[in-house]
Structure 1
């Protein structure tokens, strides 16, 4: 069995554990449906063992971290939390003594959300590139300058180290682990059973253009933004969008910037390039992707993609297709 251990402590974020745990147990279920044996066993560990209450008030049963035998755990993950419970956990002498040995002997280790602070405090992230919750990126980078924090990625894989941006992104990271351990088909079946909209790759930004617009409140362009996302291959210039919104071009441009914080052209290009990354990761041809996202011919897609991401779309596809 491949044992996955989650390190928890009073006040931890429940979804950081329950989401990925559901993915691993879901993989066992999918394997069973294909007549294959279960692979994963999930265990929760804490400083003293016993009942540990999460930030939501739901408690879980745990084993003492000191009772975990050498080499017993193949994947070691630290759950995140808000500032106060996290600081208390980082200062816990039992956890500080046990965690370095567990991570050293595991096939892989890492964190979900702000759990990376604990690993960083022990020097386990020095010289590594990591992901964490968007609200923790700046504090983590400031407190631990030897750590390279990627503020955009949903999750980052750096050798044996796996770190995710937080909360639901732990699910994305767990699915990627399953795809690597088993195959993409099993990961896809798990995602389907969990009714996920899509399996999100690690390089995808923590904030989609639509979500960024929604965060700003009741956008007067919510319906238009949804239409843009569904019609990336349509003409999406200011005259066309202004006409669809029933506004003059000048008024539309001004109100759109106020509502979204971006010009219409920048918003549309971001939406198109985000969609292009998803399609390229599926191995589609540049010509097909360019047509689907409205950046045709392929040279137009290549120019915009390399300008935004610093890598040619063909190379990006070769690096990520099938992951």
Structure 2
């Protein structure tokens, strides 16, 4: 029997939180001799559901899908008020509770965690949600351990993701658990994803985090740095680009970005290196493209920052990549 998946929708749902995961499971079926997953889009009453993008989603009512027949239950994210109001729908609350208890796995995409938390279905769990709702989730449900940085979190049979495209990353991880890394990688390639992102990766890349808090001239410099990582990028070059003395540049950059220039450059390079290590690139090539110059220098910096060698990281995050 195919793995039965139910994705709960409602008026105001974020359509990408539905279509992204559904596309992953559909692609997995295409890669199998016989369909491995059967996806059900369900709502409290069934019928047409208007998404936040003004597109309608066809759904079946929950009464047509027995709660004990679901292997994976996911609550899609969307309007926060609509989600919290759904908790007052008694029939839906009972169905969600029974389905969560019976399913081998259950969880949420984006703000869908709010509904599960309101129903007490995340009690004592480590979870995540969209960055904009992390404080609401943590303040409203102090019994939860809210990880406001992770792309997705697995805690026992509970899976939660940060939102929108991270639902794709989480569902790819679920497919990898079911069908293996090679199948998940093929699906990622079919969906033309730049790279499969691991759950520990921050919701904001170091580049985005720095640009959000940096003053305008440094934001422009950061953009330039991100496209020139294979160059020296020492403080003399960066200060000259900003027409500042090295001492003055070091002080002002650190105040604006919250990190020293050297540390920030290394952070950008290591973040880029982690992405490249998920692709079939040799370690020397990764080192060259990220400005470390040699595999040895890359390995030393990588282990110092992450406590793991680049090659072991590659093996644990993407099996099947050819070794050096």
Please give the range of the TM-score, normalised by the shorter of the 2 chains: 0.7 to 0.9
- Which residue is 1:68 aligned to? 65
Q: Which of 299, 312, 318 is the aligned partner of 1:322?
A: 318
Q: Go from structure 1 to structure 2 and tell me whether the alpha carbon gap of 1:228 and 1:30 turns closer, same or farther (over 3 Å shift).
A: farther
1:7-18 matches, within 5 Å, as: 7-18=8-19
- Which residue is 2:209 aligned to? 212
Q: Go from structure 1 to structure 2 and tell me whether the alpha carbon gap of 1:296 and 1:314 turns closer, same or farther (over 3 Å shift).
A: closer
Q: Go from structure 1 to structure 2 and tell me whether the alpha carbon gap of 1:192 and 1:322 turns closer, same or farther (over 3 Å shift).
A: closer
Deviations 1:39-77 (A, max 9, x none): 122111111111111112111111111221243221100
Q: Distance in 2 between matches of 1:96 and 1:192?
A: 38
1:156-167 matches, within 5 Å, as: 156-167=153-164
Q: Distance in 1 between matches of 2:298 and 2:177?
A: 34
Deviations 1:78-109 (A, max 9, x none): 01122221222222222211101111111211
Given that 1:179 and 1:186 are in contact with CA atoms closer than 8 Å, whether structure 2 keeps it comes out as: yes
Q: Distance in 1 between matches of 2:199 and 2:133?
A: 17
| Secondary structure at the counterpart of residue 44 of structure 1 | strand
Q: Go from structure 1 to structure 2 and tell me whether the alpha carbon gap of 1:87 and 1:272 turns closer, same or farther (over 3 Å shift).
A: same
Superposed CA RMSD in Å reads 3.1
Q: Go from structure 1 to structure 2 and tell me whether the alpha carbon gap of 1:155 and 1:219 turns closer, same or farther (over 3 Å shift).
A: same
Verify: 1:199 aligned to 2:200, yes or no: no
Q: TM-score, normalising length from structure 1?
A: 0.83
- Which residue is 1:309 aligned to? none
Q: Go from structure 1 to structure 2 and tell me whether the alpha carbon gap of 1:301 and 1:170 turns closer, same or farther (over 3 Å shift).
A: closer
Given that 1:45 and 1:65 are in contact with CA atoms closer than 8 Å, whether structure 2 keeps it comes out as: yes
1:23-172 matches, within 5 Å, as: 23-31=24-32, 36-172=33-169
- Which residue is 1:186 aligned to? 183
Q: Go from structure 1 to structure 2 and tell me whether the alpha carbon gap of 1:283 and 1:157 turns closer, same or farther (over 3 Å shift).
A: farther
Deviations 1:128-156 (A, max 9, x none): 11111111111111111111011110001
Q: Which blocks of at least 5 consecutive residues in structure 1 are unaligned?
A: 306-311
Q: Distance in 1 between matches of 2:215 and 2:26?
A: 38
Q: Distance in 2 between matches of 1:167 and 1:3?
A: 22
- Which residue is 2:303 aligned to? 302
Given that 1:275 and 1:293 are in contact with CA atoms closer than 8 Å, whether structure 2 keeps it comes out as: no
Q: Which blocks of at least 5 consecutive residues in structure 2 are unaligned?
A: 320-324
- Which residue is 1:313 aligned to? 308
Q: More displaced, 61-70 or 14-23? A: 61-70
Given that 2:67 and 2:96 are in contact with CA atoms closer than 8 Å, whether structure 1 keeps it comes out as: no
| Secondary structure at the counterpart of residue 313 of structure 1 | coil
- Which residue is 2:322 aligned to? none
Q: TM-score, normalising length from structure 2?
A: 0.83
Q: How far apart are residue 246 of structure 1 and its match?
A: 5.0
Given that 2:68 and 2:98 are in contact with CA atoms closer than 8 Å, whether structure 1 keeps it comes out as: no
